[in-house]
């Protein structure tokens, strides 16, 4: 049993870091795609969605190429900050973050698009500079979408397998998150009970996150109905 | 002078050509629906940009293509009361009123929160959410929010539309008081001849 709890604890830690890493970036991308017309917007949109359509193993391989110890970003991170990501739990978090990004951007983009631009205009005529109008109108009104996106990203991170095992490997206590532990258990004779327990925990955590996300989206929809 | 507007603006197929100078406290902008009256207000408030022209209010130029001048909306000092009010749905009435008040430089404020609340008779609404207000209440709060942002002029877009006769009358009396007691230039968009004849010193027709 303690074994399983350490797997759950590691999974939660990886997923929380992944969501924390992705949240500001996903919101910035969502805002850009929702509110700005610029050359290359379609390309950026495609790039954001890449992890959703490319096989996760390929995403993991790309991460290895870029963030491996000899990769351009990986080598730089190690030289500048002494940060190594491959085969570390932080690397598992990076893999989960990249895989969660498209889902988070989608949820947040919808909520930003639902904020009436005319309210932002009203704020401007009342004396708000663009940044203040964003912080006092767009941001609070899209908050339910941010929370929903975070929950969705969290659920996605909990289930991440392909990119993680490719980039961060399957190291017990370091990168062996729930799906990897289940996979490992399936390779061992006599671990059926452990596999079942881990699977049930996975299902409960994921459904919990999705239900919370759905509730937040509904609350946001209900509030928008009141907007004049 | 109150308003000096000379603009050429094209939105899709529709072209707006408008030039007028008004010295009156309250100027009415009239014309058939869909002709672009609201677009003219948006141009004056800085929410739309004419292709060519000049806009000055109360002697200060806000926009002038000849000079390359185009002030951002927050620097124009427009007290814009939108036809759809645009109260912020996530803020209570009091926070809506204080939104522009907080942003206004204290030296430019010419009316206080308590005065506006009393003037408009909205003291009992301060704790309410915008979604719970009636049409007339919503308009009054929107006017109060605009007044508190220390505006140099007011833009009123069909403020009496879709109100019953009694509410419209009360609000018209209020606009008369703003015109006579607060003495800032007002540009009123309306399609109701009776309203215009009663309130405006000058009528500009947009065709």
Give the minimum alpha-carbon distance from A44 to chain B in angstroms, rounded to a whole number.
28
Q: Assess A122–B contact: CB distance below 8 Å, yes or no.
A: yes
**Residue B53 sits at the chain A interface (C-beta within 8 Å):** no
> Could you report the per-residue pLDDT of B103-131, keeping only the tens digit for each?
887 777 778 899 889 888 899 999 999 99
Structure tokens at A152: 């969705």
Q: Is the pLDDT of residue B55 over 50?
A: yes
pLDDT tens digits, one per residue of A131-143? 999 999 999 999 8
Chain B contact for A223 (CB, 8 A cutoff):
yes
Site from B45, B74, B81 to mutate, A interface, most A CB atoms within 10 angstroms: B74
Which tops the pLDDT comparison, A66 or A5? A66
Could you give the CA distance from residue A221 to residue A35 in angstroms, rounded to a whole number? 20
pLDDT per position as a tens digit, A72-121: 999 999 989 988 898 899 999 999 999 999 999 999 999 999 999 999 99
Asked whether the beta carbons of B42 and B48 are under 8 A apart, the reply is yes
* A223: nearest CB among B47, B72, B89: B89
Taking 90 as the threshold, does the pLDDT of residue A48 lie above it? yes
Q: Which residue has the tokens 């309306």?
A: B190
CB B63 within 8 A of CB B71: yes
Nearest CB to A127; choose among B47, B74, B87: B74
Statement: residue A227 has pLDDT above 70: no
What span, in angstroms and rounded, lies between the C-alpha atoms of A147 and A26? 12
Q: Please, are residues B150 and B184 in contact by the beta-carbon 8 Å criterion?
A: no
> Mutate which of B88, B141, B144, B147 to test chain A, going by most A C-beta atoms within 10 A?
B88
Count CB atoms within 10 A of the CB of residue B198. 12
CB contact under 8 A, B131 and A226: yes
The H or E element containing residue B203 is strand B202-205
Q: To 10 degrees, the CA torsion angle through B140, B144, B146, B149?
A: -170
Domains, chain A: 2-223 (1.10.3720.10)
Please check whether residue A168 touches B, CB under 8 A: no
The mean-pLDDT minimum among A15-29, B77-91, B165-179 falls in: B165-179
pLDDT at B79: 94
Per-residue pLDDT of B160-200, as tens digits, reads: 887 788 878 888 888 898 898 887 899 999 988 888 999 99
- Nearest-angstrom CA–CA distance, B88 and A121: 11
């Amino acid at each position: 049993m303690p074994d399983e709890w350490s797997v759950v604890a590691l999974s939660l830690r990886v997923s929380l870091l992944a969501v924390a890493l992705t949240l500001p970036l996903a919101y910035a991308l969502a805002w850009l795609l929702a509110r700005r017309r610029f050359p290359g917007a379609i390309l950026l949109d495609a790039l954001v969605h890449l992890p959703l359509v490319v096989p996760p193993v390929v995403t993991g391989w790309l991460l290895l190429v870029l963030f491996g110890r000899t990769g351009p970003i990986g080598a730089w991170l190690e030289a500048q900050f002494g940060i190594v990501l491959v085969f570390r739990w932080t690397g598992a978090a990076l893999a989960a973050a990249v895989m969660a990004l498209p889902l988070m951007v989608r949820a947040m983009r919808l909520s930003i698009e639902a904020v009436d631009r005319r309210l932002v205009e009203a704020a401007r005529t009342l004396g708000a500079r663009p940044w203040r109008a964003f912080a006092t109108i767009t941001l609070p009104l899209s908050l339910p979408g941010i929370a929903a996106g975070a929950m969705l990203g969290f659920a996605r991170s909990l289930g991440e397998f392909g990119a993680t095992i490719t980039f961060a490997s399957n190291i017990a206590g370091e990168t062996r998150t729930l799906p990897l532990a289940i996979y490992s258990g399936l390779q061992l004779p006599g671990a059926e009970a452990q596999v079942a327990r881990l699977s049930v925990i996975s299902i409960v955590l994921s459904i919990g996150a999705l239900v919370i996300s759905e509730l937040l989206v509904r609350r946001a929809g209900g509030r928008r109905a009141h907007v004049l | 002078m109150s308003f000096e507007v000379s603009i050429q603006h094209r939105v899709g197929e529709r072209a707006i050509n408008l030039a007028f100078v008004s010295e009156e406290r309250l100027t009415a902008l009239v014309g058939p629906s869909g002709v672009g009256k609201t677009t003219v207000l948006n141009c004056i408030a800085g929410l739309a940009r004419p292709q060519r022209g000049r806009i000055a209010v109360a002697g200060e130029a806000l926009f002038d293509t000849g000079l390359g001048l185009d002030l951002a909306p927050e620097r124009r000092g427009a007290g814009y009361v939108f036809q759809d009010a645009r109260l912020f749905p996530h803020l209570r009435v009091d926070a809506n009123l204080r939104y522009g008040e907080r942003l206004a430089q204290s030296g430019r404020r010419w009316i206080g929160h308590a005065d506006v609340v009393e003037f408009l008779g909205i003291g009992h609404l301060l704790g309410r959410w915008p979604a719970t207000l009636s049409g007339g209440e919503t308009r009054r709060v929107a006017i109060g929010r605009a007044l508190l942002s220390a505006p140099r002029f007011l833009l009123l877009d069909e403020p009496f539309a879709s109100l019953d006769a009694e509410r419209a009358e009360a609000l018209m009396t209020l606009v008369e008081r703003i015109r006579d007691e607060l003495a800032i230039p007002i540009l009123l968009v309306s399609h109701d001849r009776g309203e215009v004849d009663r309130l405006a010193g000058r009528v500009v027709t947009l065709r």
